[in-house]
Structure formats: structure tokens, C-alpha cells
Amino acid sequence: MSDSIQLLLFQLGARVFAARAENVRRIAGPSLERPEDGVESALGDPWDPRRGLVVEVAGEERTLLVDGVLGLKAVPDSDFQALPAFARDVLPTAALAGFAMLDEVATLVIDLPTLLREGKGAALAPSEETPRHA
């Protein structure tokens, strides 16, 4: 399976994001985890945080509260498009890894460890309209 990547699809607010499955240590339910473990991110706040994505950051587990986990999907490498270099230089965050075509829809692939490490200060403005098609 070297020619595909495993993406975890999650919903936060009104938008659907993707993240590499290997970056998620486990999925937690908010009722099972301590709410204070959830961290704010540049993706904005969830409406109804029912799931938490537990990520190891610098040897510690940090949880990104999300509205839901939609599932896991294997995406061919050809459907993943890394963020161009000039875009990485322009954007205030380094948590945006690239785009993946999921059912013909361009979905942002988030680098969760970077996102949780940056915190809310390197915000990816919620109002910004992220291009959904590469």
C-alpha cells in the first residue's frame, strides 16, 4: 500500500477536514475524556464536540475536539496534492499539509501535530474560504 495514504475524515463546524491516520493516536469520546484536554486550534471551535482526536505532540497527548469523525479512507497518492511552496510561505500556519480529492471534492489535509503545536495563535482564519478544488 505504498501508493496510497490513509486519511481520517473529521468534521469541525461546517467543514470537513482530513488528516493522516498515523498522526492520530486514538479517537476519544468527550464523555470519556476530560474536556479541558481539548485544545483550541486554528480550525475554529466545534459546534457539538462529540469526538476528540488524540495526537502526540512533543511526547504529550493533545486532543483536538471535533464535531464528529466521518471515517477512514484510503486515498491514492495521485489524489493527494501537497501545498505549493509559495503557499506555505504565504499562509500564517504550517498545519495545512495539502489537498486530497475525496469523491471529486478537494478536502484540506491537516497536519494535526503541527496544528496542535501551533495552537490558536497561528490561526487559519475560519472565514477564509479554502479552495476545495486543486
Partner 1 sequence: MPERNSAGRARVQKAPRRERGAAAIAAVLRAHAGGDYKKRVDLEGLADPELVAVARELNLAGKKAQERSDEVAARMEAVRVGLDEAINAMVRLVVHGDLSGTLRLAASDAALTPLIAGVAQVMETLKRFVREIRDAALQLSSSSAEVLAAATQNENSTSQQATAVHETTATMEELKGASHQIAENAQMVASIAEQTLSATRQGEGAIRAFMESMEKVRRNAVEVDEAIVKLSRRVERIGTVVEVIDEIADRSDLLALNAALEGAKAGEAGRGFSIVAAEMRRLAENVMESTREIKNLIGEIRESTHAAKEASDGNKRMAAEGERLGGAAMASVTGILSGAQGTSDAARLIHLATQQQRSATEQVVQSMGEIEEVTRQAQAGSRQATGAAAELARLAERLAGLVQRFKVE
Among 36, 60, 71, 129, contact with partner 1 (rule: CB under 8 A): 71
Q: How many CB atoms lie within 10 A of CB 17?
A: 24
Tell whether residue 34 is a contact of partner 1 (CB under 8 A).
no
SS3 115: helix
Among 12, 24, 65, 97, contact with partner 1 (rule: CB under 8 A): 24
Tell whether residue 33 is a contact of partner 1 (CB under 8 A).
no
Tell whether residue 66 is a contact of partner 1 (CB under 8 A).
no
The conformation of residue 58, written as its DSSP 8-state character, comes to T
Q: Which stretch binds partner 1 (CB under 8 A): 36-44, 71-79, 90-98, 110-118?
A: 71-79
Shortest reach from residue 13's CB to partner 1, in Å: 19
Q: How far is CA 98 from CA 33, 79, 108, in A?
A: 30, 10, 6
SS3 134: coil
Distance between CA 6 and CA 84 in Å, rounded? 21
Q: Which stretch binds partner 1 (CB under 8 A): 21-29, 57-65, 78-86, 106-114?
A: 21-29
Tell whether residue 120 is a contact of partner 1 (CB under 8 A).
no
- Contact residues: partner 1, CB under 8 A: 1, 6, 8, 21-22, 24, 26-29, 31-32, 50-51, 69, 71-72, 74
